[in-house]
Each structure stands twice: as structure tokens, then as C-alpha cells.
Amino acid sequence: MWPVRNDAAFWEFAGGFRCDGTGRAISTGPVTDMDAVGADYVIRNGDLVSHTSHRHEPPVTAEPIAVIHEDNDYLIVNKPAGVPVHPAGRYNFNSVVEILKSERGAHFMPRPCHRLDRLTSGILCFGKTAQAATDLSRQIQARMVRKEYVARVIGHFPDGEVVCDQPLLQISPRLGLNRVRANGKFARTVFKRLAYYPPASSDVDGGPEQRPKTPEEAADEEQRPWTSKKGYSIVRCLPLTGRTHQIRVHLQFLGYPIQNDPIYANQRVWGFDLGCNDDGTTHTDEDIMSRLEKMGKEEVADAVAYHEEMVDLYHKRRAEKLSGELCKTCDTPLYTDPGDQELSLFLHSLRYEDSGAPTCAADQWIISFTHDCRRLAQTKNIDALLRPSRVNLKTLLEYNPPSPTHPAPRIHIADLERALDVNSAGSGAAPHPLAELITALVDKAGTANVVERLALFLPVQRVVAWLAQPTRESYNALVLNYAPRPSQLTVPHPQWVDFVLQGPLRDAIIERQDVYATEEFQNIYANSLRLLNWPGRPVDAINMDPTTGEVWLNDTFAAHALRIENWRMHETFVRRYPELRGFVELTES
């Protein structure tokens, strides 16, 4: 073995990086063979050389992480603004996960159930076990949890509910930039103004005359961003999908960005309109990214240092700056402490409300199925599962109801993958997994007519596609009557309610979940459904391949089944629930 000096070995294993502190690290102990040695020490066989890494981590607030609720499965905390959820980028120990582990011991492993931006404060849910975290994550993805935020935005937000459903596209993950784009992912947010506060000026709001401002206060106000002179509104935000920066970008698009948003309310980046009705024509992606780069941040979403060119004089005086001092250990330039505007965003996660445990067995089927579809969609095109043009429904004709000794089978993700591979090949020979889901939803007792079982495949297929992939395409495929009602989008409810055909009836169930969100109701509803005005027999609704045994719906029957006026309820339903008579149409006999 050729002799190797200690400093040369350190340089080699550091990836060719050498700094002025290398020799000092060797001589003072961080690089050592049990004891400190000199840089000219020749490494021998059997020597153990270790190095204690020295890194600078951005500071975060010292505000404690308050526990809101804790039980055997979950820990719910109030996340302070400016603290990332988990280690990322330059943040490691200054993250919620690592702070909790430090406070409770290394054995404690909090598992985040959802995302929350570093600058956003408020409700953050952790699972104490992997299973608990998975269960809650699935409910959030299935929109069984109602999320509510409050934001402070620039200007006088309109009255009433404002819905923004502009699709969002991630432009630059490194810069944390997202924009409204027609080819982006479907996103929908419901906003409502809670209060408006005009500018604090007697000539604007008609308030009492204020004391004269000092010269310093007058100069300070003159240097403030022009946006502060429009007043601000407090707005409730209900994100119905979970896209990155969804609330922030939708508010910007509407013309009321969050008041201290360092990206989407930055006049230097977006101009005087701050990106209102942004469609990428006035400011190209390259223009925006170039301006963000000039902020002097390697990663706008996570870094904390504001560059001199980024903001106006008001914020320059308050931004984090180089202090002119160097770290005594590694000679890294040191920054001053960041200001409040760099550690917070006027966006608070106020409330997460779930609909409780699943109210029937079908609920868990739906949640598991849509969750597995989402997992598959990350690596595969799952149109053959969600939007197939020809589906083998043989199992709907041969269905045997489950019994205590032969329960209905659980569809595993491996089953979906096999069905996807076969159906993607174009043969359509594999029975479609949705057939099992339909029987769990509408025919657990095996009493429904064959025609109803076949006809329900089409609306169920479209609703599942929407739940698994909430895109503009899947939303438009729902047809008017099957589209989500406002109550479905804003109130937590059991998943099976989304498959009730009559829109007004879905509203009634969600409004009185204590009465109607039960397994009994779901069974009576399913067994009371009737498809009318189909003149033929079940065999007239299908096409069949005698060679392969495939069975699929013919186009005439498919069009008939999708028309809501062809569906009725048997009188059995209103005998049990007479108060719902006005929400459904009955059969004549």
C-alpha cells in the first residue's frame, strides 16, 4: 500500500473539495484516528479515520410546536410558520419531524399524513404507526377530509363564494414555481371573504383623524410596496384538491394574492398586476424564472436570504443579509437573522374534519381501490382501468353474493396490475376489477336485477375515474347529473355517497348523515334502484364473444343507462324514508 498523507485522504474522500479549514479540522480533532494527528501523518493499515461534519442550517422560529390532540394512533400539532415538515434541502434538525424526535426521543417516529408548506402555519397530522398514517392519507386523498385554511390577501375580495378551478402546472421544482396552465392538473378551491380592512388612512376609510406621522414613519410608508395601500381581506379557503401551492396560485390568478407571499405577490417578479389572470402570455416561464433567480436564492421555496434586487427599500432593510462575519470553524459567510416576512406566510391551516369511520363495507373497498389506482398512475397509464372503451363484464352476469363463509374478495393492487396489463393489450379478456366494486356497492345481497347491475357499471366507472384521477377530462365525463354537488366538495362524508345517482338525494344524505349515512340506508337504496324504459331483455344489452366468453355493453344500452331520467326508485325506498319522497322519482308500480 502506498503511503497516504492525512490531508490528502481527507481531500480525496471529500469528493475533491478542499477548504481553508481542512488543516484546522485535522489538527483540532474533527478528522482523527481516535486522537488528533497532524496533516502530515501517514495513514497506516488498521487506522480508523473519522470526520464530524460541520454544516450551517437556516434558523427557524423558537415558537414551540403545540400539541392539539394525541392518542394511540395520531398526533395533531399546530405547526409554526417557517418550519419545514421534514428534512429537505438545507433543513435537517430544524424540521418538525426532527424537533419532535429530539423532544420525545429518537425512538419516536412521527409520520406526516399530508403536506404543508414551510411558510404555512397550522394543523399538521402525524400517524404514530405506518398503518395509521396510511389510513388517514388515504382518506385525505379520497376527499373524505374537509380542509379549511384562512389567508390574508391583498385588496377587497368579492362577496359570496368564489370558486377557482384553474388547472395547475409545476414549472420549476427547484424554484418552487407553479402556474395556471391548460395542460396542468385539475384543481379546485372555494373561497369566501370573512372580513375586509381598508388602508389605515382617514382619507380612505373615513375613520377618525390620526396623529401626524413622524418623518421616519412617513418615509417608511412611502417605501412600502404599493399593494399595502389597497387594504386587505381575510379569506376562508377550501382546497378540494391537493396541488402544490394550490391556494397561493389560485388567489394570485383571481387578483388577490396572499399579502406577504415572497413568490406570488412579488411586484418585482410579476409586475403591477401581480399575475392576475396569468396565462403565460404577458410573462413567459423563462421571464419569471429569470427574475426569481435574481433574488439570489438557490431555492426560492426553501432558502431564507433576500437579494438586494429582489424587493423594494422597505423590505431590504428587513431582509436577511450577509453580516460580514465568517464562521470560526469553516469560514462560511454568516447571515443576519431572517426577518418576520421570511419566516411566515399569511396562510394558516385552520381545520381538518373527517367523516369518521367508514359507514359500510363498500366504503373501504372504494378507498382502497382509488388509492391503488393513484399508486399505479405514478408509473403507468391506467386508462385501461378507469376509461376502457370495451370492458369484460362477465362477472356481473355470473355474480354470486358473498356469504359469511365466502366473503367478497378484496381487490389488491397486484390484481389491478394484472388486469391493467391484460386490458391494455387490447384483448379485453380479463374481467374488469370494477365489476367486483359494483357488486360490493349495489348488490351485496345478490337481489338486484341483472339489467341494473350492468347499467350501473357506466356511472360507477366515471365516478371512480374522477375520484382516482380528478382531471378536467374525468370531471367532464361525469355528465351533468353525476358531477359532484357543492355539498360533496365541502362537507366530509362517506365515500359511497358519491355513487348515489340522484344529485339532490346526495345533498340530503350529506346534510343528515346521522340518519342516512348508514349501512341500512345504503342497502335499501341499492335494492330499490330500477332502470326503466329498456324494451329488451338483459341479453339485448350486451355483446358476447362466444370464443373468449367476453361480455360487454352495446352502445345503445350504454347511452340509455347514462340518462338519469331512465332511473327510478321502487316504492320500498319511500316506505322506509317517506321524508325523501321529493328527492327521487318512483316506478309506476
**More confident call, 553 vs 149:** 149
Asked whether the predicted pLDDT for residue 283 surpasses 60, the reply is: yes
Q: Are 415 and 401 in contact (CB under 8 A)?
A: no
**Selection from 64, 232, 240 nearest residue 143 by Cα:** 240
Residue 361 has what pLDDT?
A: 62
Q: Which helix (H) or strand (E) holds 226?
A: none
Q: How far apart are CA 509 and CA 496, in angstroms?
A: 11
Task: Give the residue-averaged pLDDT of 568-574.
Answer: 90
Backbone torsions φ then ψ of 55, nearest 5 degrees: -130, 155
CA 172, distance to chain mean position in Å, is 18
Query: How does residue 514 score in pLDDT terms, banded at 50, 70 and 90?
Result: confident
Sign of the Cα torsion 40, 45, 48, 54 reads positive
Q: How confident is the model at residue 229 (pLDDT cuts 50, 70, 90)?
A: low
Residue 580 pLDDT greater than 60, yes or no: yes
Cβ-based neighbour number of residue 172 at 10 Å = 17
Residue 254 has pLDDT above 90, yes or no: yes
What average pLDDT score do residues 419-423 get? 59
Residue numbers annotated as active site: 117
What is the average pLDDT across 530-550?
Answer: 77
Which CATH number is associated with domain 66-206+220-317+328-351?
3.30.2350.10
pTM equals 0.67
Please check the confidence at residue 312 and state whether its pLDDT lies above 60: no
**What is the chain's mean pLDDT, rounded?**
76
Query: To 5 degrees, how large is the angle CA 388–CA 557–CA 436?
Result: 50
CATH 3.30.2350.10 in the chain, residues? 66-206+220-317+328-351
pLDDT band for position 418 (50/70/90)? low
Question: Predicted confidence band at 506 (pLDDT cuts at 50, 70, 90)?
Answer: very high
Per-residue pLDDT of 340-363, as tens digits, reads 666 788 999 998 887 655 556 667
Q: What is the pLDDT of residue 436?
A: 67
pLDDT at residue 249, as a whole number: 95
How confident is the model over 399-410, as pLDDT tens digits?
555 555 444 545
What proportion of the chain, given as a percentage, has pLDDT over 90?
A: 21
* Strand 145-154 versus strand 232-239 pairing type: antiparallel
Query: What are the start-end ranges of the E strands in 497-563?
Result: 529-531, 542-544, 551-553
Specify the residue for cell string 426521543: 105
Ramachandran assignment for 255, one of left (phi > 0), alpha (psi -120 to 50 degrees), beta (any other): left
Most confidently predicted of 105-109, 223-227, 429-433, 547-551: 105-109
Whole-angstrom Cα distance, residue 583 to residue 570?
13
